[in-house]
Amino acid sequence: MAGALDGIRVLDLGRVLAEPYSAALLADLGAEVIRVEGSAGAWDRRPEDWETFMQKYPNQVAPTGDDWNFINYNRNKKAISLNFEGRVAANNKAREILKELVRHCDVVMENFSPRTAEAMGITYNNLKKIKPDIIHSWSSMCSIYAMPVTKLLNIKFINGFLYACSLSYDKT
């Protein structure tokens, strides 16, 4: 049975929660979703203090060693790793590959700060130069002017809330 979004290709540059989850829902509906990670892998695969987290919540760790939330938010997706320097695609080869991916996609989803998106060349104005009919989706968990600590606290709150909800779920 064909999905409602068969034939739609989505480039998922999102991190943490909102964009990866939204892209997973599109994949569930049949879209081909391509997730892009840095060469070191996604920093959202594991909580900040991974050793303590594994000891405290062993059921939250998948056999792959990744956080179950990461696996859930990235289900049904293809993935590619590009050599980003820090948060900015300074590597010209990575930039060219990213542009080529955009040319072949219908939707680009990201949740970077405007400054990072500009440095990576993935603002809407830049994307439409590459592909005029591109759909650009951007979201943020909190204000773009918020301190990074605020984002971290939001992420920890949401993950804690999701974990607490899973404790009340009767698995029998």
What pLDDT digit, counting tens, does each position of 80-100 carry? 988 766 545 457 788 889 999
pLDDT tens readout for residues 40-86: 666 555 555 666 666 676 666 677 767 777 778 888 999 998 876 65
3-state helix, strand, coil in the chain (%, to 5): 45, 15, 40
Does residue 127 register a pLDDT over 80? yes
- At a CB cut-off of 8 Å and minimum separation 6, what does 46 contact? 53, 65, 66, 67, 70
Mean pLDDT across the chain: 76
Query: Residues 139-168: what's their mean pLDDT?
Result: 51
pLDDT of residue 69: 74
With beta carbons less than 8 A apart as the criterion, state whether 114 and 124 touch: no
Domains in the chain, CATH or no CATH each: 9-144 (3.40.50.10540)
User: Which pTM does this prediction carry?
Assistant: 0.72
